[in-house]
Amino acid sequence: MADLRAVLDLGSNSTRYLLVDCTGIGPTGLSFSPRRVVARGNRITRAGESLALTNSLSATALSRIMRAVSQFDQEIKMAGGSWAGAVATSACRRAENRQQLFDSLNQLIGVVPRLISGENEAWLTARGAQLALPQITLGAVLDIGGGSTEFLLFDNSGKIDNAISYPVGVVTLAEQFIRGDSWDQEQEGPLRRQLQQLCQVRGSGTGPLVVVGGTGTTAVAYKQQLKNYNPAVVHGQTLELAEIELLKRQFSEVNFNRLAKHPMIGAGRADLLMPGLLIIQYFMEQLSASRVIISDLGLLVGFIDQLLEEEKGEGFSS
């Protein structure tokens, strides 16, 4: 009988799950490939909405999260899987009422979310990217979230050299710099200065820069003109700096309502694409990178790998 385990990510913009076939895992841990992913789900829940003003998860955000996880729970049960764990990241780190959400989720799915630090989030994301892209020797990993951005450098031997969590994400930038129903190009300068102030990059990777998160996957899916999102087509693809400039021009020429109608964007991401692309561009410039590799997998793969290691008494938590 297949050993199907699900993990949940409570992000600042979206709530996601991954159901992984862990059958036959040996003493060396998770021998991962994207083929092990049995099912997945992603809902835009905007946990980070207005969080900077209130320091609390709003009632509407809590309701959106619970509805999403309830649907995920049904999908996992139908597939014959069970919950293995959950992680809570930037929005929950800031929210004073996070325990209310944790208690509700524990009642619903029998799992208490694990609140992880920004540095641990960066480490797990990088580990997940390593497992999901085994053919690539990574130089750096950039994980763009709704409320924070994680950045991790590898040294020449492939070991982690530095892991940093920056207090800036696509939701926080959108709330700060977007006014109205379209992107104002005059806001690019102030946004870039914000990144320069908050995201000081130290060192440089010796291999390619891998980007994790909805901005990168959405950009590739849009570039490839997909009608339905296909992770196998998106995962491992590249974005050139010139392509990012082109996407910025295209997205700035139409309003958010029109962008939201595109099947690869939707209403929950239309206003977040420009901040996300500017984050990617900024880090590319800091690292003198002409292209990035997009990973469809990251944090949740790293987390389930950690859970398996903890079963053997070798894991860590922070």
113-151 pLDDT, tens digit per residue, is: 999 999 999 999 999 998 899 888 889 999 999 999 999
pLDDT confidence bin for 202, thresholds 50/70/90: confident
Note whether 9 and 17 are within 8 A (CB): yes
pLDDT given at position 154: 86
Q: Using CA atoms, how far apart are residues 131 and 108, in angstroms rounded to an integer?
A: 30
Note whether 256 and 181 are within 8 A (CB): yes
Q: Using CA atoms, how far apart are residues 145 and 237, in angstroms rounded to an integer?
A: 20
pLDDT, tens digit (0-9, with 9 covering 90-100), for 75-91 = 999 999 999 999 999 99
pLDDT given at position 2: 86
Q: Using CA atoms, how far apart are residues 56 and 267, in angstroms rounded to an integer?
A: 23
pLDDT given at position 9: 98
Q: Going from the N-terminus, what domains does the chain have, and what CATH number goes with each?
A: 4-117+300-311 (3.30.420.40), 119-295 (3.30.420.150)
What is the pTM for the complete model shown?
0.91
